Amino acid sequence: MAPSTIGHIDDEDFATLNLSGLDENDFQRQARHGLPLVLPWHHESVRLGVGYHSNRQLTKNPWESETPFNLAQLMLQAKILRPEQGTTSSFVLKNTSRAAESNDHLTLGFGVSLAPPIPVVKVSVKGEFDQQVQENSDSEKTSIRASCRAGCIDLEAEPWLINEAIFELRHGEGFEGFCERYGDYYLAGYRLGADTGMLLSSTASSHKEVDKFSITAKAKVLGVGPSKTWENNFQQFREGRSIKLLGYDTLEGRNWKNADSGGDADRELNNWLQGKPRIDAGTLKADAEAIMQQSESLIERVNGVLDTHKVKNGGYLTFKQCEALCEAGVVVELLLRPMSRLRDVLKWRYHDSIV
């Protein structure tokens, strides 16, 4: 029998949200309007159905330990990987020449990166990368980002409220008291995938230019085709400049940070331009090549994690498998649904009764 779609997460619920460049007040405004929220994630395990307090987003723990849901039903209910939702791959290249344009290189949306940052996201490699980008005062910056999304995991059906939660609605403090106790959102699904990115920056200390350099890499895993290549022209770095590198990979849970002063930068540039086969460990070239390799193999690495954990398209998963996927770093975003949209809450709100 085909699985129920009562708890099915439709991508259009999230696709209509404009999550770019919003500050924390706008994030709160989305919550006040009862819109679904997308929270970038890291390697920490978090279970479907757990409550989330949007008004505690700036604390270290916005999650709620007490649940309004029937735990037995949550445990037994199937968690389904739906590949048709959010299955995409993309590549983004950004060039800026003013320090004030640093926000163009941020990886996170809806104000997660902007001060004050959301603590549960700040600890992620993307959160750390964004913080370093904001602290970078160099004028010329070039960044690349590769990402893939491999589908969503959600519950087969909407979770049921326990009698105690229903009593809170009907005879306690109503929905306000319910949210204070259990949270105003709950974790409804995981979006699977990974992101890799790099930023190179420099500030001129003299005007003698050297030839621009570029990196060429195969982009077949990003859907460009095996015979195509893309080039990242990292501006025209000049002799005597200090070059800085920042990078991240969500699947590995790793950040890169490297810098060379003027003389070292010249040597790095010459090595790069000459295409020397030997890459000294710890150099900018070595780090950049490592990040490039991670971005080239992004989709294959994500699929490898799914294969390791025996996760198949349309397949049913257990809580244990879901937790393992979180710890493996393949859960790249958490999908939060408002408690106000729960069937039992709607019945109480509009009919003053729950069956």
- Would you kindly state where each structural domain of the chain is located, as residue ranges? 11-351
pTM, whole model, 2 decimals?
A: 0.76
Return the CA Rg of the chain: 23
Cβ–Cβ contacts within 10 Å for residue 231, how many?
10
Burial 336-347 (b: 16+ CB within 10 A, else e): bbbbebbebbee
Of 152, 189, 192, nearest to 301 (Cα)?
A: 192
Instruction: Enumerate the β-bridge partners of residue 215.
Output: 232
What does 76-130 look like in DSSP terms, one character per residue? HS-EEEETTSS-EEEEEEEEE-SGGGGGGG----TTSSSSSPPHHHHTSHHHHHH
CB 193 within 8 A of CB 329: no
The Cα 105–Cα 137 span in angstroms is 13
DSSP character for 69? B
Which helix (H) or strand (E) segment is 71 a member of? helix 71-76
pLDDT 10s digit of each residue in the chain, 355 long?
Answer: 333 333 444 544 544 444 444 455 456 677 778 889 888 888 999 999 999 998 888 788 899 999 999 988 888 888 989 876 556 778 777 776 666 566 666 766 434 444 445 666 656 788 778 777 877 777 778 888 889 999 999 988 899 999 999 999 999 999 999 999 999 999 999 999 999 998 888 775 443 333 333 333 333 333 333 333 333 433 344 444 678 888 999 999 999 998 875 555 555 555 555 555 445 667 777 888 888 889 888 999 999 999 999 988 888 899 999 999 999 999 999 999 999 999 999 988 887 654 4
Cα angle 130-91-311, degrees, rounded to a multiple of 5: 90
